[in-house]
């Protein structure tokens, strides 16, 4: 069993804590079709030779030829049974740790009061700099699969932490008052995805990149 770091934003940290987020999608790097993006006769298939392995074999097909191996890509998020420790924005004065997700997604840090009345006047440290000892949120990987990001279902969009997608009739949050409200979690996920990945070449929803789909459950590390 390995212990692997993974970064989440403050809103996603809160969604994990409240139990609404049990999946995350991360762009595969490099994209398997990178060299063939202008060749429509090619397509990719993903094959995991061993269900307990995090090695995936990418195969491609030319219409008139049999399959050919392209190579193995290792999932950086492990395999079922591995643990992920969450990196999140934080601050510390050496004796106390503040987490941005607990402070309404980042107001001035001095306004983030804790039960002991303590404050800290420093700045938030980016999640990438969080050391393992400061992690408070641990996840057990329960499944890994590969798909295109646009293949996401409504159920999976909700598992990404989408709670209130709003009504596609009026745009208001539920309950919106429409006689026929139509919440659309996939539209909300598209907005979330592009807010994170939209400016990265080849990563936007419209580019439909291949992604790792990581399923997990929150655990008590000490009880495992």
Which domain CATH number covers 61?
2.30.130.30
Mean pLDDT of 16-44: 76
Residue 44 is assigned to a structural domain of this protein: yes
Residue 160 is assigned to a structural domain of this protein: no
Structural domain count of the chain: 1
Residue 175 is assigned to a structural domain of this protein: no
Extract the tokens encoding 146: 């590969």
pLDDT (tens digit, 9 = 90+) per residue, 118-130? 565 557 899 999 9
pLDDT at 204 over 80: yes
pLDDT (tens digit, 9 = 90+) per residue, 113-169? 665 665 655 578 999 999 999 999 999 999 999 999 999 998 999 999 986 655 656
Residue 156 is assigned to a structural domain of this protein: no
Pairing, β 83-87 against β 3-7: parallel
Determine the distance from the C-alpha atom of residue 22 to the mean position of all C-alpha atoms in its chain, rounded to a whole number: 9
| Domain coverage including residue 65 | 3-89+126-151+210-223
Distance CA 123, CA 220 (A): 29
pTM of the model: 0.82
Give the model's pLDDT for residue 27. 96
Give the model's pLDDT for residue 206. 95
């Amino acid at each position: 069993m390995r212990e692997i770091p993974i970064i989440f934003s403050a809103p996603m940290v809160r969604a994990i804590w409240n139990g609404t987020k049990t999946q995350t999608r991360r762009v595969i790097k490099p994209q398997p079709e990178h060299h063939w993006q202008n060749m429509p006769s090619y397509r990719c298939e993903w094959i995991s030779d061993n269900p307990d392995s995090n090695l995936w074999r990418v195969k491609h097909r030319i219409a008139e030829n049999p399959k050919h191996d392209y190579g193995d890509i290792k999932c950086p998020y492990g395999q079922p049974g591995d643990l992920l420790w969450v990196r999140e924005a934080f601050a510390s004065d050496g004796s106390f740790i503040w987490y941005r997700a607990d402070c309404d997604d980042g107001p001035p840090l001095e306004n983030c009061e804790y039960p002991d009345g303590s404050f800290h006047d420093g700045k938030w440290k980016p999640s990438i700099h969080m050391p393992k000892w400061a992690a408070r949120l641990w996840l057990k990987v329960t499944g890994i699969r590969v798909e295109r990001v646009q293949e996401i279902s409504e159920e999976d969009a909700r598992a990404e932490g989408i709670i209130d997608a709003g009504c596609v009739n009026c745009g208001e949050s539920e309950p919106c008052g429409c006689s026929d409200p139509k919440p659309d979690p996939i539209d909300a996920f598209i907005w979330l995805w592009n807010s994170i990945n939209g400016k990265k070449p080849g990563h936007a929803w419209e580019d439909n990149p291949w992604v790792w789909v990581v399923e997990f459950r929150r655990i008590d590390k000490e009880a495992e």
